[in-house]
Amino acid sequence: MKYFIAVLYLAYIATASADKCTDVYDSCVNATGSDPMSRFKCGMKYLRCRFNDMRSDEEIADELFDGEDKPECKVGFVDCMKAAQKAEDKMAARKMCIKNKYVCAKENAKEKYACLKKCKDVDGMKEKMRCAAKCFKKEEEEEAADELFDEGDKCTDVYNSCVKATGSDPMSRFKCGMKYLRCRFNDMRSDEEIADELFDGEDKPECKVGFVDCMKAARNAEDKMAASKVCFEKKAACIKDKLQPKIDCVNKCREELKSCRADGSSRMQCGYKFYKCVKPCKDA
C-alpha cells in the first residue's frame, strides 16, 4: 500500500504535462466504453503516457499473449534481434524484428480480439467479465470473475458516486477505479483511513505519541533544529519497525505472483490470487 500511495503521488505530479495524454484517455474510452473496468484500463494507459511509455496496443497485446499461446513469436523475435546485432544497418534490422513480432502477435491473438470485442456488447459488469474469461478458455478465470463481480451494482454505484464527487478527469477516474476495486474486495476504507493505518493509526499510536512528546521537548533544547531532526528520525524508525511485517507480507505475495506467472498461469488468474494474498497483510 505504501508503494501504491507513492505511485499515486508521482502520477499526480505527472498530470502537469501536456494534453496529449488526456487525448489518449478520451480515445480509449470512446473505443472501449464507459463502464468502470474500461475506465480503469484507460486510466492505466493515461498513466503510461504520463511516464512516457506510449507502447502501442500491439506491444501490450504482445506482452499479454507471449507467455501463453504464442511462444513462437517470442522465439522468433529473440533470434531476429541476435541476427540484427550483426547487420550493417542495425537500427533498420531491429525495426524489422519488432514489426515481424507485432504481425506474429496480432495474427495469433486475432481470435481472442474478436471474442473480446463481442464482450463489449454484453450487459452487466459481471457478465462482461465472464464473457472475457471464456475468450481465454480458462474455467478458473471464469470462476474468479464470477466471484470477483458477484456483488451486483453496489460497487458500480460506489464508482459512479466517486466520479460525480471528484470529476471525470483521467486521474479522478483512476482513483475512483481503485475505490471500485477495493469495494470488490470488501475493503471500503477511505484513502485517509488507509494512510492513517500505514503511518500513525490504530496499531502503532506510540509512534505518534512519542513524536509529539519529542517535539515538545525539542522546543526547549539549545539546538532546536537538531533536536527536531532527531524526533523525525525516531518516528521514521518507529514506523518502519511497525510496518515491516506488512511489508514482508506484501513481498511474499509478490514472490508468489512471480511464481504464478512463471508457471504459465494467466495474468487475471494470478492477479486474483495476488489480491487474495495481499488482503490479510494489513493485519500482519
Residue 222 has pLDDT above 80, yes or no: yes
Q: Which three cell numbers stand for residue 229?
A: 531532526
- pLDDT tens digits for 167-215? 776 667 666 766 776 666 554 444 444 444 444 444 456 776 777 788 7
The pLDDT score that the predictor gives to residue 108 is 64
Averaged confidence pLDDT in the chain: 67
The pLDDT score that the predictor gives to residue 49 is 67
**Residues 71, 74, 76, 81: what is their CA dihedral angle, to the nearest 10 degrees?**
-160
Kindly tell me the sign of the dihedral angle through the C-alpha atoms of 180, 181, 184, 189: negative
CA atoms within 13 A on the CB side of 85: 5
- pLDDT tens digits for 60-113? 444 444 444 456 676 677 778 788 888 888 778 877 877 777 677 666 667 777
Tell which wins on pLDDT, 24 or 267. Answer: 24
In angstroms, the CA 155 to CA 187 distance is 11
Residue 261 has pLDDT above 60, yes or no: yes
Q: Measuring CA to CA, which residue among 159, 106, 115, 107 is closest to residue 141?
A: 115
The pLDDT score that the predictor gives to residue 36 is 67
Q: What are the extents of the domains in the chain?
A: 20-54, 57-137, 153-188, 191-283
Residue 263 has pLDDT above 50, yes or no: yes
- pLDDT tens digits for 131-145? 776 776 544 444 444
pLDDT band at 19 (very low <50, low <70, confident <90, very high): low
Q: Which three cell numbers stand for residue 232?
A: 523525525
0.75 cut: is pTM over it? no
In angstroms, the first-to-last Cα distance of the chain is 13
The answer to whether residues 180 and 164 touch, using CB atoms and an 8 Å cutoff, is no
